[in-house]
Amino acid sequence: MSPSPSPSLFGALFVRDLRLALRRRTEALLPIGFFVVAVALFPLGVGPEPQTLRQIAPGVIWVCALLAAMLSVSQLYGSDFADGTLEQLLLTGGSTTLMATARATAHWTLTGLPLVVAAPLFGLMFDLSPAALRILALTLLLGTPILSLLGSLGAALTLGLRSAGVLVILIVLPLAIPALIFGTGAVAAVDAGQSAGAHLSLLGALLIVTALGVPPATAAALRIAVE
């Protein structure tokens, strides 16, 4: 019996998306650039008061991460849909769910992972404690995959529609609010000297539910769009 082609299919699609992103470096770097600029401007606008900066830091960083992720999801499947590549991929007989998972994973690698790495550095600008910085990085590590998965679903649902970028934001932002609440709540709890366990558990549970439920829904939306 020949080995299952699923791992090789996932790897091939994942590497393909990374290579395509490297060819369009400006588009790939836009979300990261937006995140850096937006977060860096807040201390200048709010003022240098440490207590105020510590209070707004979790919300500012998480909102900027959410908006940065949304910048690149509207065209997640757009170019493949326009040139017929998406239809050919669906005709190969491979798992559409696996394809959706690979695309969301590539998006997170290009967008979410750099935000996870950069966020603690910007947390220092807001005078966060070392414990709060660690929790901030952990919440983003759990939360940014949720944003990529939801963004992938929104992009599939609006594939081929006019004003798809606006529609994606309208679809994804309400769904991402729980992740935003749990992520900011965990950092705020640590900063207040409380345990962040409950918020992290809820964020982890949300990630599991999203990872199990969103790829099949995305696959179904892609098949409907192509048909």
Q: State the pLDDT at residue 6.
A: 58
Q: State the pLDDT at residue 3.
A: 43
User: Residue 174 and residue 161: Cα distance in Å, rounded?
Assistant: 20
User: Residue 141 and residue 84: Cα distance in Å, rounded?
Assistant: 34
Q: Return the closest-CA partner of residue 185 out of 167, 197, 172.
A: 197
SS3 199: helix
Q: State the pLDDT at residue 7.
A: 60
Q: Tokens in use for 135?
A: 């929790």
Q: State the pLDDT at residue 2.
A: 38
Q: Tokens in use for 164?
A: 């798809």
| Distance, C-alpha 11 to centroid of its chain | 19
Q: Tokens in use for 128?
A: 């966060």
Q: State the pLDDT at residue 8.
A: 79
In angstroms, the Cα distances linking 168 to 41, 44, 162, 172 are 26, 31, 11, 6
Q: State the pLDDT at residue 23.
A: 80
Q: State the pLDDT at residue 10.
A: 81
Q: State the pLDDT at residue 4.
A: 47
Q: State the pLDDT at residue 1.
A: 36
Write down the domain spans for the chain: 6-226
Q: Which residues, at least 6 apart from 78, have a Cβ–Cβ distance to it below 8 Å? A: 155, 159, 164
What are 195-219's pLDDT values in tens digits? 889 999 999 999 999 999 999 999 8
The alpha helices in the chain, defined as continuous H runs, are 6-23, 25-46, 50-71, 78-82, 85-91, 96-107, 113-123, 130-157, 164-191, 197-226
- pLDDT-flagged residues of the chain (< 50): 1-5
